[in-house]
């Protein structure tokens, strides 16, 4: 809460709404606690993955986006920002040219079990078209990935998890 209040105070000071941020010198006591988000257990992650593949086989692009979060370790915004041209080497490599952090700019090896679904997403689209298109031909907002992950969790009776926390790389 202190970090949020400091940020808000800095924002107000920057816009000259207050002369100085009164919280800039305040130090927090103790350690910050991070409660973390739920992470599926291995058996739950296997069931989740099986359901996601079932939905992807039925043509649901949301399930493909959710699988990318889990199997490629991509952030929701990294998934929704991908253009067709970011899918390279016959679908074996996905470029992430922009990300939340410098370390996030990378190429990602696409697992064979996901490659076909991404190639289907790209089929018939121009190189600069979004890989996943929502209404009006525009790319989805990043909430689209989270909603699909949550939908799959709910359908499996699993705890709701963050997109990249649905089990560390699901073993076979």
52 SS3 class: helix
Query: Whole domain around residue 17: which residue ranges?
Result: 1-30
Which pair of structure tokens corresponds to residue 133? 């298109």
Is the same domain home to 87 and 3? no
CA distance 12 to 109: 44
Is the same domain home to 60 and 96? yes
Residue 166 scores a pLDDT above 70? no
Which pair of structure tokens corresponds to residue 4? 């949020």
Q: Provide the domain count of the chain.
A: 2
pLDDT confidence of residue 169: 47
Is the same domain home to 25 and 47? no
Q: Which helix (H) or strand (E) holds 20?
A: none
Is the same domain home to 51 and 125? yes
pLDDT tens for each residue of 104-162: 899 999 999 999 999 999 999 999 999 999 877 778 888 999 999 999 999 988 888 87
Strand order in the sheet with 106-109: 87-88, 93-96, 106-109
In a domain, 99, yes or no: yes
In a domain, 36, yes or no: no
Residue 171 scores a pLDDT above 60? no
CA distance 64 to 117: 7
**Contact by Cβ (8 Å): 83, 122:** no
Is the same domain home to 70 and 6? no
Is the same domain home to 5 and 63? no
- Model-level pTM? 0.75
Is the same domain home to 22 and 105? no
In a domain, 171, yes or no: no
pLDDT confidence of residue 170: 45
Q: What mean pLDDT comes out for the span 23-45?
A: 79
CA distance 69 to 107: 14
In a domain, 14, yes or no: yes
83 SS3 class: strand
pLDDT tens for each residue of 12-25: 999 999 999 999 88
DSSP 8-state assignment for residue 164: G
């Amino acid at each position: 809460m202190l970090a949020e209040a400091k940020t808000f105070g800095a924002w107000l000071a920057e816009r000259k709404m207050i002369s100085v941020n009164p919280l800039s010198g305040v130090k927090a006591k103790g350690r910050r606690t991070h409660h973390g988000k739920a992470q599926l257990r291995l058996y739950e992650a296997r069931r989740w993955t099986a359901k996601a593949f079932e939905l992807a086989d039925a043509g649901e692009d949301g399930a493909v986006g959710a699988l990318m979060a889990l199997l490629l370790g991509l952030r929701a915004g990294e998934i929704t920002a991908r253009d067709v041209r970011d899918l390279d080497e016959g679908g074996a490599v996905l470029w992430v040219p922009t990300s939340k952090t410098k370390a996030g700019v990378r190429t990602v090896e696409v697992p064979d079990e996901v490659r076909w679904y991404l190639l289907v997403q790209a089929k018939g689209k121009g190189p600069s078209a979004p890989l996943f298109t929502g209404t009006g031909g525009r790319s989805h907002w990043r909430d689209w990935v989270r909603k699909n992950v949550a939908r799959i969790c709910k359908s499996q009776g699993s705890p709701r998890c963050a997109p990249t926390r649905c089990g560390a790389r699901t073993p076979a």
